[in-house]
Each structure stands twice: as C-alpha cells, then as structure tokens.
Amino acid sequence: MSISTQKILIVGGGSGMGLALARRCVEAGATVVIAGRSEDRLRQARETLGNPAGLEIAVVDIAREDQVAALFAEIGGLDHIVSTAADIEGAYRLLPDLDLKAAQRMVDSKLFGPLLLAKHGAPRLAASGSMSFVSGVAAYRPAARGSVVAAVNAALEGLVRALAVELAPIRVNAVSPGWVDTTIWARVAGDRKAETLAAMAGRLPVGRVGQPEDIADAILFLIGNGFTTGTTLHVEGGHRLV
C-alpha cells in the first residue's frame, strides 16, 4: 500500500520511535501530524526533519479526553493513527519505592490514551484505515522494577484485540518492541545506559539492541498490510527466546 496520498497522526512523534516513523512517512510522501505534550519538542522534531511542507504539529495530552476530542476536531479526516507515547517517569521502580501516581500516569499514557484515541479517532478514519499502538516485551519477559510496565503492555494488547473486533473494518494492531536504544533508557538506567544495552545486545540472537527505525518499519508494515488486524507484531531481536 502506498501512503503517498494518506494522512497519518503520530502521537509521540517528537522523539524516538515516533520521530523515526514520522521521517519514514514524510519521505514516502504522506501528510503527517506529530502530536505530543511538549510544543518545544515537536517544533524541534519538525526542524530535525527539515521543516517539510507535509508535516504538522499538534500539542495534546492524550490522557485528557477534552484535548483528544479537540485534536480530532482540528485535524479532521485521517487514514492512520499511531501512538508510541509512554510516560514511564517514576513507574519503573521496585514495589517498595513505587509511587501510585507515577503508575497511574503510565496507565493514562499507554492504555487510556490509546482508548481515547480510538474513541474519538475512529469516526475520523477511512474504512480502510488503521490504528497502531506500541506495547513491549516486558509483557512477556518482565523484570524486577517492571511490574507496572509489564501489566500495562499486556493490557494494551488485550485492548488492541477488542478494538479490532469492535471497530472493524478499521484495523487495529500493536507492535511489541524489545530493548530499543532511545532516550527513555537514560531515565531507566541512568549513567549505566550504554553498559546495560551492551549487556542485552550480547544476550540477543541478533547480537544487538533495536534502533527506532526497526520499530518504525514494523509500524509501516501494519499500516500497509490490509489483511492484518488484532495482531501483536514482535520486533525484539529474539528476546522472548532467551
């Protein structure tokens, strides 16, 4: 499927996997709206991509239903909706140190946010359109400190299957990344980011951790394949095998 004439909303498009996807889509000729909570980050992302004519920005907190509804009222019809957003600040903790408010922010950004995007975005989508969300390998290979992340990822995949049934023929899928080298690891591992990622690379069958472009390409597959829905596409370098 060519996306050159299509319009795609990417929530979380200001950095990491979302930014890599925005680059791929712009290069393919699509009209792209990158959305997120930080206008500065979105403007910086637009500059990073060369200020292309087909790229718009929209400031939104997808945990706020009024803001989500206003977003879709503003941008109008769409072909595809993608969310890579995840607020993990303070949520990646051992249970004695876990702050419930941080856990709730994680749930808001990665579960209720996609739910609101589906609620208000589905009426704006073409019947041949799709929604793609990002879960993660923690649902299958949880680690200490990752109970909230594991639970939210698993819940999101359940939501994807339910939405694929309820919103048909609109297709709804998830990508489940493994460890990907993004800025999020600076918050998870701090000064030990490089060491932590290198150790995982040595364990994985592919011999490396993921890059944002790996996940962007997987999402593009889900956008373009009209016979895939209710599916979780695992892009994790064989992490579930080790």
Q: So which residues are the catalytic ones?
A: 135
Calculate the CA 129 to chain-centre distance: 17
DSSP string, 153-212: HHHHHHHHHHHHHHTTTSEEEEEEE-SB-STHHHHHHGGGHHHHHHHHHHHSTTSS-B-H
Please give the DSSP secondary-structure letter assigned to residue 92.
S
Burial (CB count <10 Å: 0-12, 13-18, 19+), residue 56: middle
CA distance 82 to 16: 13
> 3-state DSSP helix/strand/coil percent for the chain, to nearest 5?
50, 20, 30
